[in-house]
Amino acid sequence: RMRETWLIHACTDWMGDDAWLWKLDCEFRQFNYVGDTHWVRGTVTDVYLADGDRPAVDVELAAVNQRGVTTTPGHATILLPSREHGPVRLPDPPGGATTCAEALDALVERFAAMEDDVQDPAVEDADA
C-alpha cells in the first residue's frame, strides 16, 4: 500500500491545502524490487463542475520505475477552490446524513442495493 500513498502524496502536494482529494483509485500491476527508483507523474485530463457546482479536475497518475515500466497506474478526482465558485464545497454525506449513525445507515442501504443488483449464477441456472 506504500505505492498508493505515493500517489496520494503527489496529489496533495500539487493541489495545496485549500483543495480536497475526493476520489483516488490505483492498481498494483508490477512488483517493486529492492533498490528500484520510482517517479510519480500526473496529468490533468479533465476540468469540470462535479455535482453541478464543485470545480473539479481529473488526474491520471502513474508510478514509473527506472526501467520505464508503469508499476502503479491511478486516477484521482480533486475538488478545487475557484474565483467564480469560491472555496471548496465538500461532498455531501451519503444519503444527506447529518449524523454518523445516519451516514452509516445510508452506506448499509447503498451496499445492500448493490448486492441486490448482483445476480447469483446458481439462481440464474436454476431458473433456466
Give the domain ranges of the chain.
Answer: 2-89, 92-128
pLDDT at 115: 79
Pick the CATH number of 2-89 from 3.40.50.1980, 3.10.129.10, 3.30.60.50, 3.50.40.10: 3.10.129.10
- The residue-averaged pLDDT of 90-108 equals 83
Average pLDDT (83-87) is: 92
Which of these ranges, 11-15, 80-84, 106-110, has the smallest mean pLDDT?
106-110
pLDDT at 62 over 80: yes
Higher per-residue confidence, 1 vs 21: 21
In this prediction, residue 121 carries a pLDDT of 58
Query: Quick check: 96 pLDDT over 90?
Result: no
This prediction has a pTM of: 0.75
Q: Is 72 exposed, middle or buried (0-12, 13-18, 19+ CB in 10 A)?
A: buried
Task: Place 35 in a pLDDT band, splitting at 50, 70 and 90.
Answer: very high
User: Sorting pLDDT into bands at 50, 70 and 90, what band is 59?
Assistant: very high
